[in-house]
Amino acid sequence: MAGLYSLGVSVFSDQGGRKYMEDVTQIVVEPEPTAEEKPSPRRSLSQPLPPRPSPPAPPGGEVSGKGPAVAAREARDPLPDAGASLAPGRCCRRRSSVAFFAVCDGHGGREAAQFAREHLWGFIKKQKGFTSSEPAKVCAAIRKGFLACHLAMWKKLAEWPKTMTGLPSTSGTTASVVIIRGMKMYVAHVGDSGVVLGIQDDPKDDFVRAVEVTQDHKPELPKERERIEGLGGDLWSYDFFSGEFVVSPEPDTSVHTLDPQKHKYIILGSDGLWNMIPPQDAISMCQDQEEKKYLMGEHGQSCAKMLVNRALGRWRQRMLRADNTSAIVICISPEVDNQGNFTNEDELYLNLTDSPSYNSQETCVMTPSPCSTPPVKDFGFELDSTK
């Protein structure tokens, strides 16, 4: 069937040489919402999932090395949930699904990055226009979701730890997001994490070209400096006179039509990765890693773990204290494996097929522990990309 492809996904994070771990990552796969659907009731780990046929799912929740899952937040929390979670096990869909990937690099504390992981996806998908078939409306909804998440953070600011001088928390975060729906990839980005796409221009040539989908929002860059100076160069986040954000939470957005014959890799990374490994090097490293697995039968490390470890090695070679370093690597293949297989504990496959579902309402959420990816064996997903 035309339009089918599969995604091999790996994720890995390491604290590096920093005192605190402020990077967070997130992968969510869930049924595509429809314009007519009402939001499903929030579900905590204390509330059982609907029954489904075999194979039975073991009790549990979001895959995490840090205690209770995000889905276990109390139902009285008024903020939108990123999605109910599932224990490891096969979950299939009758309808198309949407996949959400995010890397958030916190600063001034972990609170903002953690808040984004818990709520950003929820704010995005509830915006009017997100279910539209028109890319411009979807991008507008994504931008509104980012702003809504930022404003909700302000309401929580008083609850976050104060600075050593007693001032309100200065916690903030970058956010690089990829949303895959059918053949469309939506990218949203604030800060200096980044997204890179690997493109094979000529099927007869093995070379895969790196394309930087996002541009860092750093004040020394001409475009960002012009924007900041145009707003008065104020250090405060919001200019009440102009009604605009100076330290802006509004993301750059773009939409791309995926071609499995050309698009081979999507890499999301924090600056701990990109400060050490140029985009083309990262794509070539992933390509080499995949060739070892499929041509030589060497499974070894996942692409994400390999990239993080290479970056940490370069930090050490330069005798620098390594930054928090995170990577999500998505390997795109035009071939669909209906079985769903796993090469090692750091990697999973999203099979984009229209296979029948056990329960089309279930959502799968994966978030790694701060310093390593937890085991995800038997944690499979199947999606429909035919729309």
pLDDT digits (tens, 9 = 90+) for 264-299: 999 999 999 999 999 999 999 999 999 887 776 666
Q: How many CA atoms lie within 13 A of 368 on its CB side?
A: 32
Question: What does the DSSP 8-state code read for residue 133?
Answer: S
pLDDT digits (tens, 9 = 90+) for 134-178: 999 999 999 999 999 999 998 998 899 988 888 888 888 999 999
Among 109-113, 213-217, 288-292, the range scoring the smallest mean pLDDT is: 213-217
Q: Is the pLDDT of residue 201 over 60?
A: yes
Q: What percent of the chain has pLDDT over 90?
A: 46
Strands (E) located in 200-334: 209-212, 238-239, 244-245, 252-257, 263-269, 325-333
pLDDT of 127 higher than 90? yes
CA angle 111, 116, 120 (to 5 degrees): 160
Evaluate whether 173 touches 167 at the Cβ level (below 8 Å).
no
pLDDT at 348: 67
**Does the pTM of the predicted model rise above 0.85?**
no
**DSSP secondary structure string, 328-380?**
EEEEEESS--SS---SSTTEEEEEE-----S-TT--EEE--BTTBPPP-TT--
Mean pLDDT of the chain: 74
Give 351-367 pLDDT, tens digit per residue: 544 433 333 344 556 55
Q: What is the pLDDT of residues 48-74, one digit of tens each?
A: 334 444 444 433 333 333 332 333 333
Q: What are the boundaries of each domain within the chain? A: 6-31+95-351
Whole-number pLDDT of residue 58: 39
pLDDT(203) > 70: yes
Predicted confidence at residue 42, as pLDDT, reads 39
CB atoms < 10 A from the CB of 137, how many? Answer: 15
Domain 6-31+95-351 architecture: 4-Layer Sandwich (3.60)
